[in-house]
Amino acid sequence: MSLEATSQPVIKPPSESALRVRLRRTREIAASVLSNPTTLAGLLVITAMVGMALLAPWLVTPNTPDPAQMPRDWGAIAVPPGSPDHPLGTTNVGGDVLYGVIWGARTSLRLSLIVVSVTVAIGVTVGSIAGFRGGRVDEVLMRIVDVFLSIPELIFALAIAAVLGPSFRNIILALAIVFWVKYARIMRAQVIHVKQNEYVDAARVIGDSPWRIYRKDVLPNSITPVIVQATLDMGNIVLVGATLSFIGLAEAGLAEWGVLVSEGQSGISGGRWWASTFPGLMVFLWALAFNLVGDGLRDVLDPRTESR
């Protein structure tokens, strides 16, 4: 044994690389999320719904020229469920309920993905600026948030969509204008909290730029409640969006759950229950599944704000 080797300071290599630590953490979180039976059930429903949305063109024959419009079978009006051509029956105007249920999943997935990504982007940006900069910027941004929160969600979205004119595109826009506020508020509170940690001071002392501190230290440690809220909103947005289209703010004949419930509504006094029941049930299951998974995520990721 050489003398040189023993006189060297012993630097033990870390037992795990950063990547492995991160992978292990992810696996642990996934395992603990999945150990909750209601979360698992929610996840299964989401998988089925998203699968249906993605595979819609193969599950039903897409309507031509526009697959997002309901196909009309004028030879089969108000057919009860169970018929070979129309397993879930048809509406008063010959719309195939099964087509609406399946293509509606696609419409809902599009709606919720667009609105959630836009609102998270706006909300996280506004909330981060307010929380990170503080002072007058914070004051002004938060007063705007307060005013937005003073108007009940559904009524605000209803008014915006009404003024913009009835179309599904405007429903998306209206929901984006209404839903970013919550994220701004959550993000601001998180950033203010995280900013006070010693590791942020340490980063400042070693001369990191504010942008680097934000990106490396503040953002990753603040984002968890945003993820939980985004999961819940994947459900809520479809719920509110379908309500708006039920009221009549989407194009008539669109293959969307709310539109279909509205189309079936006129038949119920004549005992034709199916046209409204099935698509409405889809909205319920969609919102329920995302609520269950959101609650499960919150319990694991963010135990401080335990759901009540």
Partner 1 sequence: MQIRDYILRRLLVLPLLIVGVSIIVFALTRIGGSPIGIYLSHEMSSEEVAEIEKRFHLDEPVPVQYFYWVSGVVQGDLGWSGVAAAPVTEVFPNKLAATMELAVASAVVAVSLGIGLGTYAGARRNRMPDHITRIVSISGAAMPLFWFAIVMLIVFWVGLGWFPIGRSRPEIFSSIAHPTGLYTVDAILAGSFTAFRDAVWHLVLPAVTLGYGATAIIARMMRSSLVEELQEDYVDAARAKGLAERLVLRRHARRNALMPTVTVIGLSFGFLLQGTVVAEIIFRWPGLGRWMADSVLRGDQATIMAYVLFTSVLFLFVNLVVDVVYAFLDRRVVLGS
Is 168 among the residues that bind partner 1 (CB under 8 A)? Answer: no
Q: Within 13 Å, how many C-alpha atoms sit on residue 135's CB side?
A: 3
Is 242 among the residues that bind partner 1 (CB under 8 A)? Answer: yes
Torsion of CA 60, 114, 167, 152, to 10 degrees: 120
Bridge partners (DSSP) listed for residue 96: 90
Least spacing, CB of residue 201 vs partner 1, in Å: 24
Is 44 among the residues that bind partner 1 (CB under 8 A)? Answer: no
Is 154 among the residues that bind partner 1 (CB under 8 A)? Answer: yes
Residue choice 129, 276, 293, 300 for contact with partner 1 (CB under 8 A): 276
Is 283 among the residues that bind partner 1 (CB under 8 A)? Answer: yes
Is 247 among the residues that bind partner 1 (CB under 8 A)? Answer: yes
Are residues 286 and 202 in contact, defined by beta-carbon separation less than 8 angstroms? no
What contacts 283, CB < 8 A, 6 or more positions away? 108, 238, 239, 242, 257, 258, 261
Is 271 among the residues that bind partner 1 (CB under 8 A)? Answer: yes
Residue choice 148, 168, 179, 214 for contact with partner 1 (CB under 8 A): 148
Of 51, 101, 59, 90, which Cα lies nearest the Cα of 279?
101
Q: C-alpha 269: how far from its chain's center?
A: 35
Is 176 among the residues that bind partner 1 (CB under 8 A)? Answer: no
Residue choice 115, 116, 254, 287 for contact with partner 1 (CB under 8 A): 287
Torsion of CA 300, 215, 148, 231, to 10 degrees: -30
- Residues making contact with partner 1 (CB under 8 A): 38, 143-144, 146-148, 150-156, 158-166, 235, 239, 242-243, 246-249, 258, 261-262, 264-265, 268-269, 271, 273, 276-277, 280-281, 283-284, 287-288, 291-292, 295, 308
